[in-house]
Amino acid sequence: MIILLLLLHGLLSVLLLGALTHQSASLLRRRPESNDRSIEPTAGFMGHYSAINGRLMVTAVVVCYLITFTIGAVLYPTYRLDVRVAFAEMQLPWAIALFEIKEHWAALGLGLLPFYVQSWRSAAMRQPKLVLTLCLSVVVWFNFIVGHVLNNFRGL
């Protein structure tokens, strides 16, 4: 059961990475006067890539984040008992500390979600929308990379 949850956690985090990266790329390419609900694609691959439905993407990001966070919370006791002890026995305090930082960043990302959703509800909030989306992207990318690096050292 733990392996299945770990795989689901990883797959959902990849989906979350894709959604946030896509949304961030769209915001970085978008002109300030563009409509936030949907954008007419411009020529070329990047024009089509950055043409997204912002509100639909926000829903996908929030749902994926909440499910991924919940699965991570379910996996946490097993990690705490099995993997963290192994890291301590292998004398890898940096690995323990890195996972602690990952936990804190995930909690901060969870706290950002209501502000993220609110910023996407208003077309006038371009700057907060950009900052919050990029912050969530950084949190998710950091947690994804740290999780995979630590899993390579000692996984569940």
Is the CA virtual torsion 51, 111, 95, 5 positive or negative?
negative
Q: Does CATH place domain 2-153 in 1.10.3470?
A: no
Q: Is the pTM higher than 0.85?
A: no
Note the pLDDT tens digit of each residue in 2-28: 899 999 999 999 999 999 999 998 888
Report the residue count for the chain: 156
DSSP label at 115? H
Backbone dihedral angles phi then psi of residue 148, each to the nearest 5 degrees: -75, -40
Domain ranges of the chain: 2-153
Note the pLDDT tens digit of each residue in 52-67: 777 789 999 999 999 9
Q: For residue 136, what are the CA distances in angstroms to 58, 150, 152? A: 11, 21, 24
128 pLDDT above the threshold of 80: yes
